Structure 1
């Protein structure tokens, strides 16, 4: 069973928060494309929703839920975890979950969290304790690669239970971590990111498919992601954004469609149910 995740955020979310209200988010039309493709290919996805989207588009969140997909939290400000304190992350989670509940998502159904920009690493390991305190079942913020922006290349490459004292050692119990998929280059012990997003746009699709097939053959799930704005090559070009935001946006929609046709995807929650059985569902504890 493979996992598909959508980081549901507006294209401008990496600008300072005070600039957001002046922009048009284009979220509805881009998510419409994703929901249509998921329906046509009979696939499911987990949508990690930024608070801004839940507040501005509650009807869209209900549509996603009613179509049978999973809703998770993507926080509030879209800041790196390193820019937050534990208490600030707790507040961001509370705001995010409250917005999702106001949009009609039951608290017990909000079981997963994605840190903005995959910013969970050794320096921000304290975030695992916050997520456990808040009652989440899993996190999906570890990318086992090394990039200038993020990554933890020595982390396990398959889902594992994680603890804050050492993010690289699988545990017998605790919060689940669901890392994004990588390809281990034979002979050189280097992980290449192939999970989706920029890498789906930049890499030849044949290589992405081959790498994911290798993971599946080894008994591990393909864990892939995309941002809705990546299917929209006409998003505004702004000076504040680096080249990689726009690189090969025109190729994303076709590659994403092929990905959905070539692989079967489920939600993160459904995958975890398949490996351990369904636990008691309590949902995030907003008072913790």
Structure 2
């Protein structure tokens, strides 16, 4: 594994992919298909900020991993192809950005067979569009179960990056025993870390960074925490996590969109109150001022 390395990851999804709008038990629409069957207004708030992200990464000479929701290929023609053509790694972010476990109970929302069927379809769509092999996965909304990693192993994925060990929330169905910010091999049927098992050389989990203060672990991977708490907060966790091992940073192109999104769905009235150029500048500051090597996930793991 590369040392002092931060995998830069970009989640490619649009405003309607968030759980208050589609893909969760409390969504306005059951799924993306229902959304498009009923929504007759503009939906694309993704293309413009994605191109700005690509230009920013070019300027900084950074190749990132873009975890892409597969339905983006259909609804944003040419976008995934451009990401791949500009040298970035393509990872799978699900078929429709749907939660696979219930946000509250953590019980499965679909069968193992259905999850594998959807994930295979998503990977094939992404590989056809990008012309690249897809070996990495990130679960939509970061809700992840151990049974899902077993399926990802079965399907031939080489890594996942969804687990966030912290003291504020647990989006998994496991206790995350022995999990820190260090990439690890998970045990079968759970997300706990397998310790000192030389036979376990399969799928690797790239957990998210945190800042440990007197035993309380603050999540610092990016995303909403970047928008609400700023670059200094994120850098605290990145720098501390780098002392343990290589780590990961993530954001969404829509985080830097300067446009106002449609106001539908319930439960997150202030979710997008901070975004746009302010967040773009925060991302640039982190990438310019954190003393580390930057690249994609497979480069970090030396796959």
Q: Give the TM-score taking structure 2 as reference length.
A: 0.81
Q: Which residue of 1 aligns with 2:105?
A: none
Distance 1:8 1:183 in 2: 26
Distance 1:104 1:256 in 2: 25
Matched-pair contact (CA < 8 Å) for 1:136–1:175: yes
Query: Structure 1 residue aligned with 2:165, among 133, 144, 150?
Result: 144
Q: Which residue of 2 aligns with 1:236?
A: 261
Q: What does 1:14-93 align with in structure 2 at a 5 Å threshold?
A: 14=18, 15=21, 16=29, 17=32, 18-20=34-36, 22=39, 23-82=42-101, 83-93=109-119
Q: Which residue of 2 aligns with 1:254?
A: 281
Matched-pair contact (CA < 8 Å) for 2:211–2:237: yes
Alignment CA distance shift 1:244-1:94 (3 Å): farther
Shift of 1:80: 1.5
Q: CA deviation digits over 1:116-149, x for unaligned, max 9?
A: 11111xxx21101110111000111111125457
Q: Which residue of 1 aligns with 2:143?
A: 119
Higher mean C-alpha displacement, 137-146 vs 166-175: 166-175
Matched-pair contact (CA < 8 Å) for 1:5–1:225: yes
SS in 2 for 1:248: coil
1:3 aligns with 2:16: no
Matched-pair contact (CA < 8 Å) for 1:38–1:44: yes
Shift of 1:57: 3.0
Matched-pair contact (CA < 8 Å) for 2:210–2:221: yes
Shift of 1:31: 0.7
Aligned pair count reads: 266
Query: Structure 2 residue aligned with 1:129, among 146, 150, 156?
Result: 150
Distance 2:47 2:53 in 1: 10
Matched-pair contact (CA < 8 Å) for 2:10–2:64: yes
Distance 1:174 1:102 in 2: 25
Matched-pair contact (CA < 8 Å) for 1:158–1:221: yes
Q: CA deviation digits over 1:84-138, x for unaligned, max 9?
A: 22112112212211211331423xx200001011111xxx211011101110001
Shift of 1:180: 1.2
Matched-pair contact (CA < 8 Å) for 1:160–1:177: yes
Q: Which residue of 1 aligns with 2:183?
A: 159
Shift of 1:58: 4.4
Higher helix share: 1
Matched-pair contact (CA < 8 Å) for 1:74–1:115: yes
Q: Give the TM-score taking structure 1 as reference length.
A: 0.85
5+ residue gaps, structure 2, are 22-28, 102-108
Q: Which residue of 2 aligns with 1:267?
A: 296
Distance 1:146 1:88 in 2: 32
SS in 2 for 1:223: strand
Matched-pair contact (CA < 8 Å) for 2:181–2:247: no
Distance 1:53 1:137 in 2: 23
